């Protein structure tokens, strides 16, 4: 095969959204106020602090002559591509962000976005999860994305409801034991 028809790239890291899953088509990017603030802070930090530093290093390194063997120049250019890729990703996510404050549901027993839900399976094993946005959920902390299978089953359910969760090993019955929301912040 002729090389004229193959795409070659300087780097193999041109994928935009490498670390996080894509949003379902046509949906908003729901996130808590804290999650939105964290993504916005990362965006500002990259744009106003880190990127200008790297541009300065690359500019200095470019003035030093031979760029092919200049580590500062090569690393700087690579880091600039990484920063720009992350900035594009954050811009897309923040543009479609829908900030949903879970504290407005404080005291209710129905599951909505931002709820902390305790449920039990048919064996009596209890588990507590918090339903959060795609960009802010952390399974190690018991946080699940609102588009995850467990969250989709739990959404709109109430305390005491028995639900059916489809798992890879079959259908599992779960019961919603408790629903909590953070208290509203005093203004």
Q: What is the pLDDT of residue 1?
A: 47
Q: Which domains does the chain have, with CATH numbers?
A: 27-99 (1.10.287.180), 102-180 (3.10.50.30)
- Over its length of 187 residues, how does the chain's per-residue pLDDT go in tens digits? 444 444 444 444 444 444 455 666 667 789 999 999 999 999 999 999 999 999 998 998 888 877 777 888 889 999 999 999 999 999 999 998 999 999 999 888 999 999 999 999 989 899 999 999 998 999 999 999 999 999 999 999 999 999 999 988 889 999 999 999 998 876 6
The pLDDT value recorded for residue 7 is 46
Q: What is the pLDDT of residue 177?
A: 95
pLDDT score at 23: 63
pLDDT of residue 54: 94
DSSP string, the chain: --GGGS---S-S---SS-SSPPPPTT--EEE-HHHHHHHHHHHHHIIIIIHHHHHHHHHHHHTTS-STT-HHHHHHHHHHHHHHHHHHHHHHHHHTEEE--GGGGTT--B--TT-EEEEEETT--EEEEEEE-TTT--GGGTEEETTSHHHHHHTT-BTT-EEEEEETTEEEEEEEEEEE-PPPPP-
pTM, rounded to two decimals:
0.75
């Amino acid at each position: 095969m002729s090389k004229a028809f193959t795409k070659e790239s300087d780097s193999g890291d041109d994928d935009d959204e490498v670390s996080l899953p894509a949003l379902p088509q046509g949906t908003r990017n729901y996130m808590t106020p804290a999650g939105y603030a964290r993504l916005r802070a990362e965006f500002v930090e990259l744009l106003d602090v880190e990127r200008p530093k790297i541009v300065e290093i690359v500019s200095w390194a470019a003035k030093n002559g031979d760029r092919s063997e200049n580590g500062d120049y090569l690393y700087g250019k690579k880091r600039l591509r990484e920063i720009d890729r992350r900035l594009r990703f954050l811009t897309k996510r923040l543009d479609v962000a829908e900030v949903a404050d879970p504290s407005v549901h404080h005291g209710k027993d129905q599951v909505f976005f931002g709820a902390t839900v305790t449920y039990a399976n048919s064996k009596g094993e209890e588990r507590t999860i918090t339903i959060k946005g795609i960009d802010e959920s952390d399974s190690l902390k018991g946080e699940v994305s609102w588009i995850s299978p467990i969250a989709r089953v739990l959404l709109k359910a109430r305390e005491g409801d028995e639900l059916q969760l489809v798992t890879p090993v079959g259908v599992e019955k779960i019961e919603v034991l408790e629903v909590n929301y953070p208290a509203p912040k005093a203004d």
